[in-house]
Structure 1
């Protein structure tokens, strides 16, 4: 067991130092690895050199017996594959048996998004005469207007906002930074909030924080807090849909592509490493194009 823990520790250091992985990524890798190490103990496996394809297939069976989705199983195996690649590099093992294991590709779920009319109702739900309403309006404008992740939004500081050129400096996954533009609506909401509502919230805590978004007590808001705010917005409208930060990210991408933005630009704005991550939105644009075609082309459908 001590040998297992030693390699897990060095792997964690590898993720943090060499791969510059985020704390979330490191946590998930260790969760998957801890589960696998517990399985090896149960099976009496005392060394990583003893792990073979039969052991991995048995582990896959235990995962599927837990009724895990294909996506969850694929993620766990991907974590282990990375770990065993590390062990091979460190010459702890000769070959990575995980590279010989193939899994059925998980079906990519269709991203949910909001229609323009639904978004407008959310914007109308905030009372911007009060500090909380100003904060909520600015928060919604930033999430929808930039498509950033909730964790990226939560960590924004005043210094990250550059009104002179209309951009936000975003710290993304793996501590990678990117600049994301914002429009006039977001600019107006941010200026009102920063110069009025935020100052009033800050007075409540007496703290001198640089965090952009604050909670009702004047302290830096949490990602959970952002989700609660969005839920309350929906409750203040006649909407029956579930709204979460990632749905606003999906909506941002979908609306851009529907209005003619190219895939590469959207990829860069979202901070996706590969274009394949952005291509999950193509189903939406295809539906949109088909609807426009059917409505507009004189030979698209027969006369009734």
Structure 2
């Protein structure tokens, strides 16, 4: 940790990160990102104020100090999205400090994040999602490998799983029933329905898997029997998308996006989709309404007589 950070601030930061891990179940990657962002901020404030800042000094940070920090970050080439993420980490730390130390932190919490254009998920059309499952399930000469890849794709698209969630399934989750208990980001558990084609695809793979399936072992296996890596799945999709002429956005995560978008298009309830995806906030799920609207406008522009006349 930077020497510009005072011992008191360093101890407070460590306690805060520990609380995030124990109380909120934050992942190691999230903890590391928060630590990096807040240390960068504390280091700037030490330089800006002429020395390491103790807890009391951190409570005296004003609006002009926050503006100076954000201006320095932008001048260093940090994008609006990344700065918004850093500011969110700093605010979360200050809220914790306010509760613990009784600091007045309004100037920090009132700092406004820069606006940025939030990128929309890029789902596959329904026929392309089905074609992807078929393609990955036929491109390897080893029948069990082809069946494995098809089973993984079917879980991503049919159940809306993250690739890490699919690959974390173990023999203890078998045989797949009508529902599956998934532990997602932050240790948050959710129950997802398992459609019949997903159960069938997984069972077809298990029926010809050449490696033993014992308690605690991963369901999806690499060639030599170890855990299947996400990179192997990505490479399989890369090969399939090139054969199908699909864009580079056709990734494993795009299958999860497709699951959500196609459910919404079919009249699915947004709250239910939020639960199925394991999103902590409804605002994260609401991005799919924008995807659906954008696609609707594309269809409108292509098909409506007046739209065609304008072009």
Give the TM bin, normalised by the shorter chain: 0.7 to 0.9
Work out the CA distance in 1 between the residues paired with 2:240 and 2:82.
31
Q: 1:264 touches 1:275 (CA, 8 Å); kept in 2? A: yes
Tell me the TM-score normalised to structure 1 length: 0.85
Q: 1:291 to 1:236 in 2, by over 3 A?
A: closer
1:198-277 alignment to 2 at 5 Å? 200-201=210-211, 209-277=216-284
Three-state SS of the structure 2 residue aligned to 1:90 is: helix
Three-state SS of the structure 2 residue aligned to 1:106 is: coil
Structure 1 ranges of 4+ moved more than 4 A: 287-296
Q: Deviations over 1:247-281 (max 9, x none)?
A: 11111111111122121221111111222211111
Q: 1:70 touches 1:106 (CA, 8 Å); kept in 2? A: yes
After superposition, the CA RMSD in angstroms is: 2.8
Work out the CA distance in 2 between the residues paired with 1:243 and 1:255.
15
Three-state SS of the structure 2 residue aligned to 1:124 is: helix
- 1:153 aligned onto 2:158: no
Instruction: From 87, 112, 134, give the equivalent of 1:102.
Output: 112
User: Which is further off, 44-53 or 130-139?
Assistant: 44-53
Q: 1:5 deviation in Å?
A: 2.0
Work out the CA distance in 2 between the residues paired with 1:47 and 1:274.
34
Count of residue pairs brought into register by the alignment:
295
1:25-36 alignment to 2 at 5 Å? 25-36=30-41
Q: 1:133 deviation in Å?
A: 0.9
Q: Deviations over 1:158-179 (max 9, x none)?
A: 3235534x22211012211111
User: Which is further off, 175-184 or 46-55?
Assistant: 46-55
Work out the CA distance in 2 between the residues paired with 1:83 and 1:294.
47
Q: 1:95 deviation in Å?
A: 3.0
Q: 1:92 deviation in Å?
A: 6.7
Q: 2:42 touches 2:53 (CA, 8 Å); kept in 1? A: no
Q: 1:103 to 1:292 in 2, by over 3 A?
A: closer
Q: 1:84 touches 1:96 (CA, 8 Å); kept in 2? A: no
Q: Which runs of 5+ in 2 are unaligned?
A: 1-5
Three-state SS of the structure 2 residue aligned to 1:180 is: strand
Structure 1 counterpart of 2:198: 186
Q: 1:123 touches 1:140 (CA, 8 Å); kept in 2? A: yes
- 1:3 aligned onto 2:16: no
Structure 2 counterpart of 1:172: 184
Three-state SS of the structure 2 residue aligned to 1:168 is: strand
Structure 1 counterpart of 2:23: 18
Q: Which runs of 5+ in 1 are unaligned?
A: none
User: Which is further off, 81-90 or 105-114?
Assistant: 105-114
